[in-house]
Amino acid sequence: MKKLLLVVAMVAAGFTANAQDVKFGVKAGMNFASLNGGEEVKDLNSRTSFHVGAMAEISISDKFSFQPELLYSAQGASADNFQGNEADVTFKLDYITMPLMAKYYVAEGFSLEAGPQLAFNTTSKVKAEANGQEATEDMKDETNGFDFGLNFGLGYKLENGLNFGARYNLGLSGIAKDNDADSIKNGVFQISVGYFF
């Protein structure tokens, strides 16, 4: 893990050294999160939640930028009458995420974005509600602490620094420690609003 973070830091330093301009900002928005793959999650619905955090845009040229981010992202999934029971269930999987986005401006203010994402699990719980009662169980011991994925998205930035984005995070690593559950991965569609200072 330390080696991976060192490589990320070296890449970011390399981009900064060649940068023409660096801007810092904040962003927040909606998550429509799901769990994909495996029979255990096929009947789950998305969990509507949020993300919030900071970002930087490092301009390499007029057309190309590098945008690292540090976000808190609430993810997981939900289900009504889970597995035939009369219980509404919410899987709460929250992460500190580090998207490392390459941005290519195809028109004035409009960009195509792609890049890897590193994520570190902070919360892993399942909440069940039935007949006016609820119970929450911690799943931290069953959940991997690290998650890796790829992001693809679109962005639009105004000259005043206000910007808008839509992105999909495709999880590539299994979220569960159980070897039989390696196929269960995160999937998150995000809509965000941000501002560069």
Domain boundaries, the chain: 26-196
How far is 121 from 173, CA to CA, in rounded Å? Answer: 13
> Containing H/E element for 71?
strand 64-79
CATH code that applies to domain 26-196? 2.40.160.20
pTM confidence score = 0.86
Q: What does DSSP assign to residue 171?
A: E
Provide CB contacts within 8 A for 49, sequence distance 6+: 30, 31, 33, 73, 74, 75, 76
pLDDT tens for residues 42-66? 778 999 999 999 999 999 999 999 9
Q: Which of 69-78, 83-92, 126-135 has the lowest mean pLDDT?
A: 83-92
Rounded to an integer, what distance in angstroms lies between the CA atom of residue 1 and that of residue 105? Answer: 32
| Higher-scoring residue by pLDDT: 63, 9 | 63
Q: Where residue 39 falls among pLDDT bands split at 50, 70, 90?
A: confident
Residue whose entry in the numeric block shows the structure tokens 């269960």 = 184
Q: Dihedrals φ, ψ of 89, to 5°?
A: -120, 140
- Token pair, residue 1, equals 């893990």
